Each structure stands twice: as structure tokens, then as C-alpha cells.
Amino acid sequence: MLIPEGLDARITKAAQRRRVSKGEWVRDAIEQALDAGPRQVDPLHRLESLGAPTADIEQMLAEIRGFDAVASVERLPV
């Protein structure tokens, strides 16, 4: 693996703090990352879990335009 010089220095220092070889430290770090699973939740999965109403984009735009028209009529001075 090719590791940038700055990252390599950080890995070396981290391994020295734990008093293990750099290879062992990297293996442990990779295993921990894989065991932890994905770090970020898939944004589409997150949106789906909200249970918000969904529709075709054209239907949504038509509804928004309809609401805008109703709202502007309601705001007309009497």
C-alpha cells in the first residue's frame, strides 16, 4: 500500500505509543474499522426511514403550485 508521508508518520507514532509494530497497528485499525461497519448512514435510507410522503416530481411540483395559488388567494386584501 502506498501511504502519504504525513500519514505514515502518524501511524508510526500511534504504533509506538501502543508499543506494537506498525504492521500490527494497521491490521488492528483495519479490523476495527471493518467491525464497526459503515461510518455514515446512507442518506436515502435515512430519508426513507422518516416515513415522509413521496410522489413523482411532477405531482409534487403541481401540488406545491396549487398550495401557492391557494395561499396567495387567501392573502388577498378584502
What is the C-alpha to C-alpha distance for residues 40 and 36, in angstroms, rounded to an integer? 11
Domain-by-domain residue ranges, the chain? 5-36
pLDDT of the chain, 78 residues: tens digit per residue:
788 899 999 999 999 999 999 999 999 999 998 888 777 777 778 778 887 777 788 888 888 888 765 555 455 565
Q: Considering only CA atoms, which of 31, 28, 2 is closest in space to residue 15?
A: 28
